[in-house]
Structure 1
Amino acid sequence: MALASRVVALGYRVLASLVIFIGIARVSGLFTGSPIWTAFLYFTVLSNVLCLVWMVWSAIATIRDARMAGWQGTSTPSARGAAAVMMAITVTMLIYLVVLVPSSFQQPGAYEPFTLTDNLVHIITPLLVIADWVLFVPKGRLDRFDPLRWTLIPYSYLVLAYGYSGLGGRFAAGTRYPYPFMDVDVHGVGGVAMWIVVLTVALVGVGYGYYALDRRLGGRVRAGVGADAAADGG
């Protein structure tokens, strides 16, 4: 089940790409004379970059398919790839809302959540990518093990972040860890491991929620095709 209009999909994807780019540019200071390159060490920014690349690629695929088959129909580089990207940015949104924002109210400091920049990279980009999947990506293509495979993206980041820190690298303000729940010095190895296990279980649960929605919407499409075929045969 997807909106079969490449005109609408292309317009949406071009606009979404622009909004996502603005968010990345604001959080990394690309619009200033002194970009904050360390911003690209964070999962938030990397997942936004992934979304930008995917959205641009999706727009290109839409143009390609329109030239070959017309402006009616759906286009995506990969239905399963689209879902994986959606889950990666969902991780960003949920960890921000459930973990980082509550901790910001408990810890001293000048950080204020829900600024325009924060909203762009943590909330608006995720919603744009989720809406693209709901509206324009064909359904019923996901494998039942895909939600487990999607964990490879945040786990790869954990390896990258801890490896970078272990080699002496530092994140913003000279911190050893990019996010408070990853701070081994504060929580200990066991505490961090517990955080990761709990978050993994929660996010896999969300992933299977996406999978269930994909199967349900995909089933509606198959049912509709079957009904049309029966009507044509009658």
Structure 2
Amino acid sequence: MKVWRIAIAAVACLGPALQYWLMTHDQTLATGAIKTVRYFSYFTNLSNLLAAAALVAPLIASGDTSLGRFAAWAERAGPRVAIATYLTITALVYHLILASEWSPKGLDLVADTILHTVTPLAYLIDLAARGGEGEARWIAAAKALPFPALFAAWTELHGALSGWYPYPFMNAAKHGYPAVMLNILAMSAAFAGVALILTALSRVRARLALVRPAPISA
């Protein structure tokens, strides 16, 4: 299990790191600062960075330090459900809506595959295999929603000021705010639905673990 945890943590770190390198070394005229802001303006990158931090911290943290407290938080059932929700939506939106819009090659394809497929799937497998500390409460589903809501608010504010939007369905300049608000509401419902499903599955897993019979000793 320790080897598995190290492996998925390494992969989860590779995706965002490779994507940042690709974005900051492209051939556009945008400055490094603008490219960095745009990098952190993709929900894909944010969800993968959060997953990477949550997977790495428990492996290296010790004691009552800031990193140790973050590691303890990252191992709790509720936060693990929230991170799994973000990664699931990342994967679904990409494969159902965005994948047909471009055909990445080379390192772009590698980063694309890690961010949108490998890390989300690996994290869900890890959640199913290890669960989380304690039992995920139903309120965990509601607690998962502020982060994507803040992301939506940032996207529209940044887009209004810069004219740049990370995702076409959030482009208010092209589609207008009423249409974009409907898209955001639909996405919010998707986040809530996935969070509720994962919370339910996490609760079932925790209860099954409690009733699992102890192994018979020789």
Fold match, TM over 0.5? yes
Q: CA RMSD in A?
A: 2.7
In 2, distance between residues paired with 1:133 and 1:217?
Answer: 10
SS in 2 for 1:165: helix
Task: Indicate how the Cα distance of structure 1 residues 31 and 148 shifts in structure 2: closer, same or farther if over 3 A, else same.
Answer: closer
User: Could you tell me which residue of structure 2 aligns to residue 43 of structure 1?
Assistant: 43
In terms of Rg, which structure is larger?
A: 1
Q: Deviations over 1:209-231 (max 9, x none)?
A: 1122112212212323xx66xx9
Q: Is the 8 A contact 1:24 1:49 kept in 2?
A: yes
Helix, strand or coil at the partner of 1:154: helix
Query: What is the distance in 1 between the residues matched to 2:130 and 2:59?
Result: 11
- Letter aligned with residue 24 of structure 1: P
**Residue type matched to 1:112 in 2?**
S
Correspondence 1:26 to 2:26: no
* Aligned CA distance change for structure 1 residues 30 and 101 (closer, same or farther; 3 Å): closer
Supply the AA of the counterpart residue of 1:119. T
Letter in 2 for 1:202: A
| Aligned partners of 2:131 and 2:202 also within 8 Å | no
Tell me by how many angstroms 1:163 deviates.
2.4
Deviation at 1:138, TM superposition (A): 3.5
Residue 86 (structure 1) aligns with:
84
Change (3 A) 1:181 1:33: closer
CA contact (8 A) 1:17 1:56 kept: yes
CA shift, 1:77, in A, is 3.2
Other-structure match for 1:112: 103
Give the partner amino acid of 1:28: Y
Q: CA 1:59–1:141 in 2, change beyond 3 Å: closer, same or farther? A: same
Q: Identify the residue that residue 99 of structure 1 maps to in structure 2.
A: 97
Residue 184 of structure 1: how far off its partner (Å)? 0.9
The CA distance in 1 between the partners of 2:200 and 2:153, in whole Å, is: 29
Structure-2-length-normalised TM-score: 0.77
Give the total of aligned pairs.
195
- Specify the SS of the correspondent of 1:177: coil
Change (3 A) 1:187 1:145: same
Alpha-carbon distance between aligned partners in 2 of 1:190 and 1:113, rounded to the nearest angstrom: 32
CA contact (8 A) 1:43 1:92 kept: yes
Residue in structure 2 matching 1:14, options 3, 6, 14: 6
For each residue in 1:62-106, what CA deviation from the matched residue of structure 2 results, as whole angstroms up to 9, or x when unmatched? x77xxxxxxxxxx9632212221111222211111122124x1xx
Match of 2:142 in 1: 148
Whether the 8 Å CA contact 1:13–1:55 is kept in 2: the answer is yes
2:213 pairs with 1:221: no
TM-score when normalising by structure 1: 0.73
Contact 1:147–1:207, Cα closer than 8 Å, also in 2 = yes
Q: Percent identity?
A: 25
* 2:75 aligned counterpart, secondary structure: coil
Deviation (angstroms), 1:113 = 5.3
Partner of 2:180: 192
Instruction: Write the letter of the residue equivalent to 2:81.
Output: A
Query: Any conservation in 2 of the 1:142–1:211 contact (CA below 8 Å)?
Result: yes
Q: 1 CA distance for matches of 2:172 and 2:179?
A: 8
Label 1:144 to 1:89 Cα distance change in 2 as closer, same or farther (>3 A).
same
Query: 1:70-81, aligned counterparts within 5 Å?
Result: 77-81=75-79
What is the Cα deviation at residue 191 of structure 1?
0.8
5+ residue gaps, structure 1: 1-7, 65-74, 105-110, 170-174
Give 1:197 deviation, angstroms.
1.6
Distance 1:76 1:39 in 2: 23
Q: Deviations over 1:2-36 (max 9, x none)?
A: xxxxxx1x322221121122211221226986775
